[in-house]
Amino acid sequence: MIKKILKFFGWLLLIVIVVGFLAYLIINEPRPTGTQGDRAEMLADEMLNSLNKKAYDSIEYIEFTFLGLHSFQWNKKANNVTVRWDDNEVYLDLNQKPEDYTMQEFKAYKYFVNDSFWLVAPFKVRDQGVVRSFVNLKEGRGLLVTYTIGGVTPGDTYLWIVDDMGFPTAWKLWTSNVPVGGLKFTWGNWIRLQDAFFSTLHQSIILDLDITNLKVD
């Protein structure tokens, strides 16, 4: 019986590896090259205006839950956040250098950086150290952004797909923590809070990411 179980799981592991490899071959694509300059800057401005970056900047507090697993109470004005997961609750002073955090604090910091990015990334295309390029796409206009500094994994690149109204409909990503280049996630289920727009659902062929309990002030 034990041999049969081990054989079953051996075949199951092989199937998972083969499916993963085929998915890699089908989905994986090289990072595109864009053109820096006026077209990229104009598209960045159009996206920020459509989502109302000015209203977002005036928001002082954001609360949300990511994937039903991690909850955040983020005081943007004071630059601190309380992170909760499982039975853990960690307060972070975001003015503090990440290397000065304890192991538990750094874990909470990584959760915050990753999860909040899925909420506010469109507002960060003009952050310090971001390189912006324009890319022609069949499905719309593309804004390629590379984060050369900051965060947990500097060097990550995202290709925003922007519609005629200036709203990002999806992005493709090339990041150090995702082995498949060009994996596409939608940006949908937009809601308007304090006159700024936030996407609360990101879908891909592999998994869906949702944001719930979103509140701003």
Name residues whose C-beta falls within 8 Å of residue 21's C-beta, 6 or more positions apart in sequence.
Answer: none
pLDDT per residue, tens digit, the chain (217 aa), is 554 443 434 443 434 344 444 455 567 899 999 999 999 999 999 999 999 999 999 999 999 999 999 999 999 999 999 999 999 999 999 999 999 999 999 999 999 999 999 999 999 999 999 999 999 998 889 999 999 987 667 789 999 999 999 999 999 999 988 888 999 999 999 999 999 999 999 999 989 999 999 999 9
pTM, full prediction: 0.86
Query: Count of alpha carbons within 13 Å of 80, Cβ hemisphere only?
Result: 6
Q: How far is C-alpha 158 from the chain's CA centre?
A: 9
Least Cα distance to 180 among 2, 9, 31 occurs for 31
C-alpha span between 160 and 45 (Å, rounded): 13
Give ∠ CA 44-53-71 in degrees, rounded to 5.
110
DSSP codes, the chain: -HHHHHHHHHHHHHHHHHHHHHHHHHH--PPP--B-SHHHHHHHHHHHHHHTHHHHHH--EEEEEETTTEEEEEETTTTEEEEEETTEEEEEETTS-GGGS-HHHHHHHHHHHHHHHHHHGGGGTTSTTEEEEEEE-SSSEEEEEEE-SSSSSTT-EEEEEE-TTS-EEEEEEE-TT-SSTTEEEE-EEEEEETTEEEEEEEE-SS-EEEEEEEEE-
DSSP codes, 58-69: H--EEEEEETTT
Q: What is the pLDDT of residue 25?
A: 52
Q: Quote the radius of gyration of the chain (alpha carbons, Å).
A: 19
Q: What is the pLDDT of residue 195?
A: 98
Q: What is the pLDDT of residue 15?
A: 40
Burial of residue 91, with CB atoms counted within 10 A of its CB: 0-12 exposed, 13-18 middle, 19 or more buried: exposed
C-alpha span between 198 and 42 (Å, rounded): 21
Q: How far is C-alpha 162 from the chain's CA centre?
A: 16
